[in-house]
Amino acid sequence: MVTKLYPWQKNVWQQWQQLIVNDRLPHAILCAMPDGTGRDALVQYLSNTLLCLTQGIEPCGFCHSCDLVESGNHPDLHWIRPEIEGKSISVDQIRQCNSWALESSQFNAKRMIVIEPAEKMTESAANALLKTLEAPPKNCQFVLLAESPHHLLPTIRSRCQVWYQPEISGEVIEQWLGETEKLKVSKQSITLNGYLPLAVKSFYQDKKQSAHQLLLSSFDNCVKSSFCYTSDVVKSLIKLEDEGLCWLSYLLSDIHKRQLGIMTTWVHCDEKETIERLAVSISVDTVYKQYLSLNTLRQQINVHSGLNKELLLTQWLFEFIGE
């Protein structure tokens, strides 16, 4: 069965269809879209359409080409990803990609090359791709997926037509998860996950709401004990990794907003009682200072592997004392 589009992708898809009809689809597309929007499905659907033997504006779902795309075995469709998760896309991978771009199609149609995430290309890899984008082979479609397009070389961006995911409303996310997953989601969970539908879905299906509540409870108890009991907070943060640090950063931001009298735009809109209590327990200056310190710590941990996270997080918690 052909991969289906998500409801919030219809607008972009209709514009792509118009470009296909008019034979004006650019040779290189940059999808500057967060991973949690289902960008893979959108590009998979484009691949289905362009490689389908009917050569229409929708994949037929029945031809041999459609079957091969869905099974991940189409000889004219190549996905370029880091060979090891979290690592870079190497220049050798892009050289292979350039070689595929010059080959003849196995089905006398287009060739598709998808690079994800494009911002993970090394500088050498990006320069190797640039040479191909400057003189694109005929009937070869490049699609670059990037959550942080500003990390790409400006010359790469300038040779791609950039597409963004239109803003997705909370109502659309609620309706989609209610209809497809029978989930009743809260506004807090949607905001907490950056209005990314697939992230909200994962938040519920992977029981992350329990981990989130445990982290908030542990931090609340830590404050009550004048930061004498830090181990539960540290354990939660190490287990949750960057997601837990992000949640705690949101919590400190909400506390600071309450201290400044800002009663709206809280991420933790369902945790008013906890925020009220913490806003009184910790000084305004301390909350702000530790909020900035936490975000700096997040960046250090994400950039540098091998750091003693337990020590750094414990130290950060103890810095609340005496402020």
Q: Given a cut of 90, is residue 141 above it in pLDDT?
A: yes
Tell me, yes or no, whether 129 lies in a domain: yes
Q: What is the CATH number of the domain that holds 132?
A: 3.40.50.300
Instruction: Determine the structural domain holding residue 90 and report its residue range.
Output: 7-164
**Is residue 323, in this structure, part of any structural domain at all?**
no
Q: Say whether both 25 and 157 belong to one domain.
A: yes
pLDDT for the residue numbered 110: 87
**2 confidence band (pLDDT: 50, 70, 90):** low
pLDDT attached to residue 107: 85
- Establish if 195 belongs to a structural domain: no
Please tell me the predicted confidence (pLDDT) of residue 323.
54
Quote the pLDDT of residue 86: 82
Same domain, 37 and 121: yes
Q: Say yes or no: 134 and 237 in one domain.
A: no
Q: Are residues 20 and 150 in the same domain?
A: yes
Residue 152 has what pLDDT?
A: 95
Residue 178 resides in a domain? no
Whether residue 219 is found in the same domain as residue 150: no
Of the residues 111, 141, 164, which one is the last residue of a structural domain? 164
Residues 33 and 144 in one domain: yes
Residues 148 and 245 in one domain: no
Exposed, middle or buried, 245 (CB in 10 Å: 0-12/13-18/19+)?
buried
CATH number at residue 215: 1.20.272.10
On whether both 90 and 18 belong to a single domain, the answer is yes
Pairing of strands 111-115, 140-145: parallel
In a domain, 139, yes or no: yes
**What is the H or E stretch that residue 143 is in?**
strand 140-145
pLDDT digits over 192-203, tens only? Answer: 999 999 999 999
- 261 found inside a domain: yes
- Please tell me the predicted confidence (pLDDT) of residue 85: 86
Query: What is the pLDDT of the chain when averaged over all its residues?
Result: 94
Average pLDDT for residues 149-177, to the nearest whole number? 96
Predicted local confidence at residue 158, as pLDDT: 95
What is the rounded distance in angstroms from the CA atom of residue 239 to the CA atom of residue 40?
A: 27
Position 196 in a domain = no
Instruction: Indicate the residue among 134, 164, 194 that finishes a domain.
Output: 164
User: In this predicted structure, what is the pLDDT of residue 68?
Assistant: 93
Q: What are the Cα distances from residue 102, in Å, to 25, 65, 130, 296?
A: 19, 20, 15, 45
Domain count for the chain: 2
Please indicate, yes or no, whether the overall pTM of this predicted structure exceeds 0.75: yes
pLDDT (mean) for 48-55:
93
Is there a domain that residue 260 lies in?
yes
Residue range 255-279: mean pLDDT, rounded: 96
Average pLDDT over residues 70-85: 93
